[in-house]
Amino acid sequence: MNWYEEEVRALERVVARRGREDRPPVFYGSSSFRLWDTLSDDIGPEVLNLGFGGSTLEACDCFFERLVPPARPRSLLLYAGDNDLGDGRSVEAVVKSFRSLAARVGASLGGIPFGFVSVKPSPARYPLLDRIRSANEAVRAEIEAMPGGYFVDVFSAMVDSRGWPKGEFFQEDGLHLNREGYLLWSQLLEPYRNRIFTE
């Protein structure tokens, strides 16, 4: 986990600079959140982006205590698992990491709204689509059983009628979202605004 350290320390400094009275919605996870440069415009200026590049669900679990509870979030939205599967980890390992992180959320943050954005179906990871579907289904069952837990399905809107990833939502690398991809995610998150911006 050492290679995440520099970016995690930078995020710790961001969190430390915020006022104690500020309780932001927190977006936490991998580069699909970190690279969302228009997040404040698309979702709201109150949102605190704690995404860090290349992170796995395992890494999000590892660094959770350093980043998320100090931010005193009013809600938490997570995107991770993509890189775990891309690195060859099994669906079972992804679910194990999610359970560990979810236990930390419950212990540290109580019953705040806690959402999971489904792992996206990127063209670069087309061979992994069946495992992505399985991981999404398993995490959905886990989070929807939690108090305050909810699941945001972006997968279904990002595949065509044949089940293939829609390339128009991705950068040339076939992995990271482009502007159209983030606009789609903004639309898909709209029904959850009352959870993201809960009082």
Q: Which CATH architecture has domain 2-196?
A: 3-Layer(aba) Sandwich (3.40)
pLDDT the model gives residue 199: 67
DSSP 127: G
CA distances (Å), 51 to each of 12, 39, 46, 59, 156, in order?
A: 12, 11, 15, 11, 23
Q: Rounded to an integer, what distance in angstroms lies between the CA atom of residue 46 and that of residue 5? A: 26
Q: 98 with 56: CB under 8 angstroms?
A: no
Is residue 154 helix, strand or coil?
A: coil
CA distances (Å), 185 to each of 41, 45, 51, 93, in order?
A: 13, 16, 16, 26
List the domain boundaries for the chain.
Answer: 2-196
Residue 197 Cα to chain centre, angstroms: 16
Is residue 8 helix, strand or coil?
A: helix
Residue 104 Cα to chain centre, angstroms: 16
Torsional class of 72: left (φ above 0), alpha (ψ -120 to 50), beta (otherwise): left
Total Cβ atoms within 10 A of residue 172: 8
| pLDDT lower than 70: segments of the chain | 1, 199
pLDDT the model gives residue 22: 83
Helix locations, the chain, DSSP H? 5-17, 31-34, 39-42, 57-67, 82-86, 91-109, 129-144, 179-189, 193-196
pLDDT tens per residue across span 76-107: 999 999 999 999 999 999 999 999 999 999 99
pLDDT the model gives residue 111: 86
pLDDT the model gives residue 3: 76
